[in-house]
Amino acid sequence: MSYLFGERIVLRDYRYEDLPHMRQWVNDYDITNTLHDVFLYPQTVHDTESFLRMKIEGELGTGFVIAAVDTFEYIGQIDLAQLDWKNRSANLGLVIGRKEFFGRGIGSEAIELMKGYVFNTLNLHRLALEVYEYNERGYRCYLKCGFREEGRLRQKIFREGRYWDSVLMSILRDEYIDAN
């Protein structure tokens, strides 16, 4: 798989030297609170090492590390899950693992690169994601990147003493082409 270069970032392969960077965020509530329930409990070093090994060995689907274009240093991750070749669709997952990069457009740039890869290289038809309603920064980012809200799974997530909706969003190949 080739690297995907943007203005400020590159989407590159996972590497063993990414482990210390991943360990800095996997138990940080400010980051993991917007991710799925795998992060409800503290992640051990073994958990992170196993995940990283499986990504490197190709056992966990397609994905990239989001890295600084000049240093290739880890910033976060963007992955595809539930690849469905028959129906040409996939689900998107994204995490910015370094808080100093929050609100700087890194997620949007990574998504734009991934959309090009998904629609132009993999020839998929649909790219979907799920975002929790309290993740306003993520929701705005996805809208900015052309995703549309498809529906809600009402009160699916329990966080901070209350239930929240999970918002289903997607972008279709034709929508991507029309926007570019």
Residue 60 is predicted with a pLDDT of: 80
> Can you tell me the mean pLDDT for 69-83?
96
Domain ranges of the chain: 4-126
Round to whole Å and give the CA distance between 71 and 77.
16
Residue 34 CA to residue 146 CA, distance in Å, equals 20
d(CA 22, CA 51): 10
pLDDT band at 98, cuts 50/70/90?
Answer: very high
pLDDT attached to residue 53: 95
With pLDDT > 90 as the criterion, what percentage of the chain qualifies?
A: 89
Q: What is the mean pLDDT of residues 145-162?
A: 96
Token pair listed for 44: 């051990």
Structure tokens at 22: 């991943």
- Rounded mean pLDDT of 100-122? 97
Residue 140 has pLDDT above 90, yes or no: yes
**CATH architecture of the domain formed by 4-126:** 3-Layer(aba) Sandwich (3.40)
Determine the Cα–Cα distance for residues 24 and 19; give it in Å rounded to an integer: 9
Token pair belonging to 108: 């949007």
Secondary structure of the chain as H, E, C letters: CCCEECCCEEEECCCHHHHHHHHHHCCCHHHHCCCCHHHCCCCCHHHHHHHHHHHHCCCCCCEEEEEECCCCCEEEEEEEEEEECCCCEEEEEEEECCHHHCCCCHHHHHHHHHHHHHHHHCCCCEEEEEEECCCHHHHHHHHHCCCEEEEEEEEEEEECCEEEEEEEEEEEHHHHHHHC
Give residue 41's pLDDT band: very low, low, confident or very high (50, 70, 90).
confident
For the cut 70, the answer to whether the pLDDT of residue 1 exceeds it is: no
| Through-space distance between the first and last CA atoms of the chain, rounded to whole angstroms | 23
- For residue 25, give the nearest of 2, 41, 43, 49 by alpha carbon: 43
pTM, two decimal places: 0.94
Q: Are 150 and 168 in contact (CB under 8 A)?
A: yes
